[in-house]
Amino acid sequence: MIDVLLQTLPFFLLIAVGYGAGRSGFFPEEATAWLTRFVFYFALSAMLFRFSANLSLAEVFDLPFVLAYLFGTLAVYLLVTFVALARGRGVEEAAIEAQCGVVGNVGFLGVPMLVMLLGEAAIGPVMLVLATDLIVFGSLIVIVITARRDGRLSPAVLVSVGLGLLKNPMIVSISLGLLWSATALPLPGPLNEFVAILGAAATPGALFAIGASLAGKSAERLVVAGWLSLAKLVLHPAAVAATALWLFTVDPYAAGVMIAAAALPVAGNVFILAQHFGVAPQRVSASILISTAFSILTVSAIIAAL
């Protein structure tokens, strides 16, 4: 446990440095927004393209893996939804809380950290988790809230969701990388060096941006935020472990990567969605802050156990 904690500590120290820079005002919110944009559209996209360009679709896609992750995640999603509705919260708030319980920071934290800690063989499983989160659960929250407000599910909503996925740089970079891989051509030297240099900025940039963005988060509604953090850090990896190891036949190594990815703290894009729809942004903010703080111990413990 201590050895793994020491390995994960540099990643969280980068988050802490970003938090300190944001909290002190040295790195203002505007700077954080621009750094996040750089990482999202350029550095992380370059990293994902380079990873996927060196993989084939057959190596990446694993149906039992996807089903195990979907079933495990859906179980926690429904549980958090039920608890929210039982507390008298509306459908929209329940959808936001459910998102907190299952959508982790796979893009900014999981991809760089898990690949470095668990080896390059983790690239495929991590990208499958990322793609499933973006395509299934990233779309689900938009569909649920929009349908609730409009009173029906219109084709325009589905078209809007589809266009949003097509414009997502992480989806685009993975797809382009797999398309390049399908040609069986190696990346030309200059292009490979270009995406390697640009992608190398993803890890420190993403972690610093996570910390700086946390500086603007508040820890209100601690009881609910604590419950959502428990769901994300403990229940989600436990449910995924159950489905991956007992319900479906998933390769043990890939299952371990999936469980580690499920243990990641609440993703920052959940807060963006909460702000966009005007639904419980402070609750989401507190959940991100608490889950990220405690993930230093929980992620290390889960990786050590694996």
Q: What spatial distance separates the first Cα and last Cα of the chain, rounded to whole Å?
A: 11
The answer to the question of residue 285 being in a domain is yes
Which long-range contacts link 167-173 to residues 24+ away (Cβ below 8 Å)? Answer: 168/134, 169/40, 169/41, 169/44, 169/45, 170/40, 170/44, 170/45, 170/48, 170/107, 170/130, 170/134, 171/131, 171/134, 171/135, 172/45, 173/44, 173/45, 173/46, 173/48, 173/49, 173/52
Determine, yes or no, domain membership for 211.
Answer: no
> Structurally, how many domains does the chain consist of?
1
pLDDT at residue 207, rounded to an integer:
85
Q: What pLDDT, on a 0 to 100 scale, did the predictor assign at position 38? A: 92
Rounded Cα–Cα distance for residues 228 and 287 (Å): 6
Query: What does the buried/exposed string (b/e) look like for 239-259 if buried means 16 or more CB atoms within 10 Å of the residue's CB?
Result: bbbebbbeebebeeebbbbbb
Phi and psi based region of residue 280 (left: phi greater than 0; alpha: psi -120 to 50; beta: remaining): left
Residue 266's beta-bridge partner residues?
104
pTM of the model: 0.86
- Cβ neighbours of residue 244 closer than 8 Å, sequence gap 6 or more: 65, 68, 69, 72, 250, 255, 258, 259
- The answer to whether residue 139 sits within a structural domain is yes
Asked whether residue 21 is assigned to any structural domain, the reply reads no
What is the domain extent for residue 40?
A: 35-198+217-305
281 within domain boundaries: yes
- The whole-number pLDDT of residue 271 equals 85
Q: Which two tokens mark 66?
A: 């996807």
How confident is the model at residue 152, as a pLDDT?
66
Between helix 138-150 and helix 155-167 the angle, nearest 10°, is: 150
Q: Write the CATH number for 193.
A: 1.20.1530
Q: Measured between alpha carbons, how far is 11 from 2 in angstroms, rounded to an integer? A: 15
Confidence (pLDDT) at 259: 96
In a domain, 258, yes or no: yes
Q: Does 18 fall in a domain?
A: no
- Rounded Cα–Cα distance for residues 117 and 261 (Å): 12
Q: Which residues of the chain have pLDDT under 70?
A: 1, 57-59, 151-154, 157, 217-221
**Residue 273 to residue 233: CA distance in whole angstroms:** 20
Residue 16 lies in a domain: no
